[in-house]
Amino acid sequence: MTSLKKEKKRSVYYDEEKKQYIKIVTPKFELKLKYWFHLRKYPGLNFAYIAKKLQSIGINAPSVTSAEKYKVITQEIDAPTLTEYLENTNDRTIESRLVELIASILNSGIIFFDFHYGNFLYKDKEIYVIDLEGYCDSVFVSRGRSGVLYRIEKHLGLHFRQEVEKRWTKTSLPLTLSDMFQKLRGKK
């Protein structure tokens, strides 16, 4: 077993024999409280849930072998990240395809904030979504639509943000807590 990443919050290992990735998450106490009170799914279980939901709507995601509260094991997808792929090609279709993919994910009610080419793989002319433990479809989202769009712009650029925003048509975006309280008070 090879250690690929060992940080305070997460560790990633690769089992060469089984061709599997093992991700172990060590969340801060604040996040553990959210898991304990069921405001968010445990990261390992959430990864498996989101992978299954994405696959059910035709989006490529890792195959989960095993999932526990803070651990997930996935089968290897032998493919370069989009960052690596784009360094070696002049494929002009990637941006529009990634815009459509991100809009499809957001329109399905799944929210995520980690938008960079390293979180997508490219294999057999298909884009795969990875690092799913931070994705959610909970009504308790700390940042709403503006937060998602801000992160897209920060990591992928203003043009990319504008293109995703045009295609993000879902109106029942999970509300932030402040939005929920304002709605309850009749202010939104």
- pLDDT at residue number 115: 83
**How many domains are contained in the chain?**
1
**Residue of 133 and 55 predicted with greater confidence:** 55
Range of the domain at 35: 2-184
Q: How far is CA 101 from CA 12, 26, 38, 110, in A?
A: 26, 29, 29, 12
CA distance linking residue 70 with residue 176, whole number of Å: 25
Dihedral sign for Cα 143, 149, 155, 158, please: negative
Q: Could you read off the pLDDT of 116-166 as tens digits, one per residue?
A: 899 999 999 999 999 998 888 755 555 677 888 888 899 888 999 999 999
**Residue of 104 and 134 predicted with greater confidence:** 104
Q: The domain spanning residue 70 has which CATH number?
A: 1.10.510.10
Q: How far is CA 62 from CA 46, 65, 133, 137, 164, in A?
A: 13, 9, 12, 18, 23
- pLDDT at residue number 114: 83
pTM of the model: 0.84
